[in-house]
Copies of this chain bind each other. A is one copy, B any other.
């Protein structure tokens, strides 16, 4: 049986740089003489089941480079999470097409899919090299310092909050911006990188790593509004009360769940609207506005971190190398080797079981003791990842004119 065919697929939510990983793995694989062909599966594992393959062996490098710069999974994605039966169906197809290496680009769920697949392959004595390539805007993969996709989404969130802070300063009021992140607050925390001047928002940041209390929240908003004459708030979509119940389900009449049993949090403005109503009702403040950043934060065309682009490319290239070296399973992980201005990272092959299905959340030293802010440690962690040419806000500096009429 040929071990020379490579198959690659993309799973889970798209990112701004997921195609960099695709193109890195495709081009590097094509460099190895033992690679007979490189296939792409459409819509993740579901495309394997359906034999929905594209032959990327002859795709021009020029077009691949264009695709690499295009956000969102070029091969399409899926939310399917294979069980054993599903995996047996996958094997049949892999065997039929003589696939020897399978790269799956994805997050927690996708790496768990790959873990199951690797186990099933071993059980079936099928010599499959299963290499997971990390991506997730949630930044919640264990072992990794951070994950490809997160820096670009973080850049979007920081840029968005820089803008809404300016907007809110021009027309004062209370502003609530709801950011993606079910269990991990990394993306919401990125809003802190929007601050430049002392009184810049976000003035309050709520993360799913801490229990959310409506009473405390209202008190925080009042205090911030008293201090600044306005208030910009960043809230994770995943905030929940002490019992673990998401705050949004307290409002939503119907709770939609996905195939993984997760409550649907994105694609609705309900949480922002609930929080705005609560602020209006409890404080009497009039101009209270809420936005839900939604899908824009993971797919917006034209907001990308160059660091993220390079790293997403590198993990794809590294995966091809690990497969070439004969590794039968693993996940490419990112490890920071230098911080601050001299930021650098290296890549390793880690065990699938150390990442698959696990969720990393923000470390305690990244969250302020007040429960509504991040620490300087988090700012230092994220800053080098945002990339070059981060736009910056400036203010007029001139002196006030003395009043005449008083």
Contact = CB atoms under 8 A, between A and B. Distances in A.
Interface of A: 10, 13-14, 39-40, 43, 51-60, 63-64, 66-67, 69-79, 92-93, 96-97, 159-160, 162-164, 166-167, 169-171, 175, 266-270, 272-273, 276, 288-296, 298-303, 390-401, 403-406
B291 A396 contact: no
Contacts of A296: 160, 163-164, 291, 293, 296
Identical subunits present: 2
B395 A67 contact: yes
Contact of A71 (B70, B77, B166): B166
Given A55-B400, A167-B295, 11 more contacts: A51-B406, A53-B400, A63-B397, A66-B394, A70-B394, A72-B169, A74-B394, A78-B171, A166-B299, A268-B272, A291-B293
Which residue, of A66, A266, A301, A405, has the highest number of chain B Cβ atoms within 10 A? A301
A301 B159 contact: yes
Given A77-B171, A167-B299, A291-B296, A56 B396 contact: yes
Given A14-B166, A93-B405, A170-B76, A160 B292 contact: no
19 contacts: A55-B398, A55-B401, A60-B397, A67-B396, A71-B163, A71-B167, A75-B396, A76-B170, A97-B401, A159-B301, A163-B295, A164-B295, A167-B299, A175-B267, A269-B270, A289-B295, A291-B293, A292-B292, A301-B391
Given A291-B267, A401-B97, A167 B396 contact: no
A396 B295 contact: no
Contact of A56 (B92, B169, B395, B398): B398
Contacts of A66: 392, 394
Given A55-B401, A405-B93, A298 B268 contact: no
A395 B163 contact: no
A55 B67 CA distance: 50
